[in-house]
Amino acid sequence: MTRRTHAALAAALAATLTLGLGACKNDKSDSGADAAAGSTKGPGAESGSIVGGTPVKGGTLTVLSNQDFAHLDPVRNWTMPNMDFGIRLLYRTLVTFKAEPGAAGSELVPDLATDLGRSSDGGKTWTFTLKDGVKYEDGTPIKSADVKYNVERSFAPDLTGGPDYAQQYLAGGENYKGPLNGEHLASIETPDEKTVVFHLKRPVAEFSSTATLPTFAPVPQAQDKGTQYDLRPFSSGPYKIETYDRGKQLTLVRNTNWDQSTDPVRKAYPDKIVVVEGLKAGQIDDRIIASEGEDASTIEWATLRPESISKVLPKPDVKSRLIAEQQGCTDMLYPNTSKAPFDDPKVREALMYAVDRDAQVTAFGGPATADVATSYLPPALTGGTKQDTLKIAPTGDPEKAKQLLKDAGKTDLKVSLTVSSGDKTRAEALQQSLAKVGIQVTITTADPSVYYDTIGDTKNAPDLAILGWCPDYPSGATFLPQVFDGRTIKEKGNQGNVEQFRDQATSDRIDQINAMSDVAEANKAWMQLSDDLLKKAPTVPLLWLRRPLLAGTNVAGAFGHPVWTGQWDFATIGLKDPSKSKG
C-alpha cells in the first residue's frame, strides 16, 4: 500500500504490541529488546509445525490480550492480528489463503467465490462468482451486491484505516466518496446476485491475492452503521459476536447459519471464543507458562515478552508450546539519501558492509525472535528461499566498508540516528558497528507516538532511522514499490520510502513489472529488482523478525500463519479436551 498502516505500538516483542500487516511499516516501539539481549537459544516448535496435535469440537478457547481491537469493520481492519481474527472468524472474503503451516499456507484458495477469479481484457477486468449456499448469521443469502457495497465503503472518508487497494486499482474511483449518499462505482458490476465484476485502471495480475483482504468481504447495506459497524460486524463467517465490551471482553459464539460444506478452510473447533482484554503482558506470559486450570485452554494475543523467553526456552514442556514463525517482514536501516553523506551510493554501500547483523539479532532478543536478513524481500516473498546476493558475513566486513569510504573520500563521518524509544539497544549496537569503520553516530530516541511523523518529515528527517516493511500478501508488488519508488515520497507523513530514494530506472522497472500479466514472471522480476537495488544500497536489510507466541497445554492445532506475520491461524485452532475449558 502507499501508506503505512498499523497502528500499533510495537516491536515484535513489545509490551503493547499490535504488529501491523500490509505493505506497512513494522512497528518496534517499546520492544524492550535489551531485556533479552544475549539470548542465543533457538525458538521452540520448528517453523511450520503444529502445536498440540489435532483439536476436537467443543469448549471455549480463551485469548488473553493486553489491548482492545484496533478495528473489526472489514474495510478498516488492516493490522495484525486484528485482520487474521476477523477474516478467519467473523467474515469471509472472495479468496483466502490455505489454513496450513509453512509454505503451503501461502497457497490461494477460493473462499466465498467458486474460484480464484477470472481475468479478461489483459488483466484489467476480473470476474468472481459466489458459491451456492453462503449465508449471513441471520440465514439470509450473501449476494454479489454486498461485496460491491463493502468495496465501495472503503472509499468513505469516515471509514479510515483499512486497505486502499480498491482506491489504487478500480477505474473511476479518483473522486468517489463511498456509497452512503447513494452513489455507486460503475467499475464494479453485479449483473446478477452471484456475479461481481471489477474493472481496473490497469492490468493487475495478482488481483486474486488482493481479493483476500477484508475489503472484499460482504456487508449488506441494511446492516451498515457507518463508524459504529466496527462494534458489531454482521457475520458471514463461522462465529458471530455475542457480546463486546470494548477494552474488556469480546465473546464469539457459533454462527449456526455458516455451512462448512461451503468452507473447506475454517474448521471452527471451539464452541465459543472469548478475548479477555486489558491484561498486563507479563501477567499473560506467566499465566500461559504455568497453564494451570482454565489457563491451559488459552493463547496469547500479543507476542511473548523478551524477559519471558528465559522462562520458556530452558523448559522442554513449555518450549514445545512456543511457536516463532518469521513474520514475513524485513527490518531495515534507512539512510537519508536526499543529502550528504548518504546521497553518495559508495557511502551507502559502505553501510551494507559495516553493519554487524549478528549484533542486531542479539540486541533484539536472540534467534528466538529474529534472523539475519540478507535481502530486501523476506523469504515469504521469494518462495521460501533466502536470497543472499552480496554474501556479506553476518558480523559484517569492516575492512571493505573502510575501503569503500576511502574510495568515496568520506572518512570520519558524523551522522545522526533516530529510533523509537524501544530500539535504543539496537541503536547502540549499530553505533558500535559503525564506529569500527570511522562513522560516529549520535543517537536520538523518539516517543513511539511521534516516531513515524519524525522520520517521515522529509525536510527534517535524520541521517539514519530504523523501521521495517511487511507485505499485504506474498508479492513484491506490496513491498518494493512502497519502499523504493520515489513517486511515493511525501513532504509530511512520508510512508515506506523514508530514505527518500529517487531513482528513475527503479520507478520505470516497477511500472514494467506491474504491467506484467503473468504472475510467475512478475515474481521473478521482483526478485531480480530486489537484487539490483542491493547494489544501489538505498537501505540496509537488518533482520527478519519472528513472532514468538505461547499456547496453553490444552490447546491444539496451533501454528503461525506464514502470510499473516506468523500470527496464530484462527481457522484451525482449538482444544484437546473441551471439558477442561470454561464451557
Residues in the chain: 583
Burial class (CB in 10 A: 0-12, 13-18, 19+), 449: exposed
Can you name the residues that pair with 550 across neighbouring β-strands?
322
> Which amino acid is located at 218 in the chain?
P
Q: Look at residue 6 in the predicted model and tell me its pLDDT.
A: 31
Most confident of the following: 12-21, 69-78, 268-277, 326-335: 268-277
Q: Look at residue 45 in the predicted model and tell me its pLDDT.
A: 55
Q: How far apart are CA 69 and CA 18, in angstroms?
A: 9
Q: Which residue has the higher pLDDT, 160 or 215?
A: 215
Q: How far apart are CA 176 and CA 186, in angstroms?
A: 11
> Which amino acid is located at 71 in the chain?
H
CA-based radius of gyration for the chain = 23
pLDDT at 394 over 50: yes
**Domain residue limits, the chain:** 24-35+327-545, 44-70+233-323+548-580, 82-230
pLDDT at 28 over 70: no
Q: Look at residue 16 in the predicted model and tell me its pLDDT.
A: 29
- Phi, psi dihedrals of residue 368, rounded to the nearest 5°: -70, -15
> How would residue 449 be classed by pLDDT, with cut points 50, 70 and 90?
low
> How would residue 328 be classed by pLDDT, with cut points 50, 70 and 90?
confident
pLDDT at 441 over 80: yes
Q: Look at residue 17 in the predicted model and tell me its pLDDT.
A: 30
DSSP string, 46-79: PTT--BSS--BS-SEEEEE-SS--S--STTT--S
Instruction: State CA 335 to chain mean position distance.
Output: 23
Alpha helices in 231-332 (DSSP H): 281-290, 309-312, 316-319
Phi-psi region of 493 (alpha: psi -120 to 50; beta: other; left: phi over 0): left
Question: Which residues does 521 contact at the CB level (< 8 Å), separation at least 6?
Answer: none
pLDDT digits (tens, 9 = 90+) for 124-152: 999 999 999 999 999 999 999 999 999 99
Q: Look at residue 23 in the predicted model and tell me its pLDDT.
A: 44
> Which amino acid is located at 273 in the chain?
I
264 within 8 A of 98, measured Cβ to Cβ:
no
Q: Look at residue 29 in the predicted model and tell me its pLDDT.
A: 32
Q: How far apart are CA 375 and CA 352, in angstroms?
A: 11
Quickly name the fold that domain 44-70+233-323+548-580 has: D-Maltodextrin-Binding Protein; domain 2 (3.40.190)
CA dist list (Å): 202 to 125, 128, 197: 9, 18, 15
Q: How far apart are CA 458 and CA 498, in angstroms?
A: 7
Q: How far apart are CA 212 and CA 178, in angstroms?
A: 21
CA dist list (Å): 99 to 108, 137, 524, 558: 10, 22, 25, 11
DSSP string, 144-169: HHHHHHHHHHTT-TTS-SS--HHHHH
Quickly name the fold that domain 82-230 has: D-Maltodextrin-Binding Protein; domain 2 (3.40.190)
Q: How far apart are CA 328 and CA 21, in angstroms?
A: 9
Average pLDDT over every residue of 292-311 = 91
Average pLDDT over every residue of 38-47 = 45
pLDDT at 21 over 90: no
Q: What pTM did the predictor assign?
A: 0.81
Q: Look at residue 492 in the predicted model and tell me its pLDDT.
A: 66
The overall average pLDDT reported for the chain is 89
- Phi, psi dihedrals of residue 95, rounded to the nearest 5°: -135, 155
Q: What homologous superfamily does CATH list for 24-35+327-545?
A: Dipeptide-binding Protein; Domain 3 (3.10.105.10)
Topology agreement, domain 44-70+233-323+548-580 and domain 82-230 = yes
Long-range pairs, 450-455, Cβ under 8 A, ≥24: 451/29, 451/418, 451/419, 451/420, 452/4, 452/25, 452/493, 453/492, 453/493, 454/418, 455/334, 455/418, 455/494, 455/498
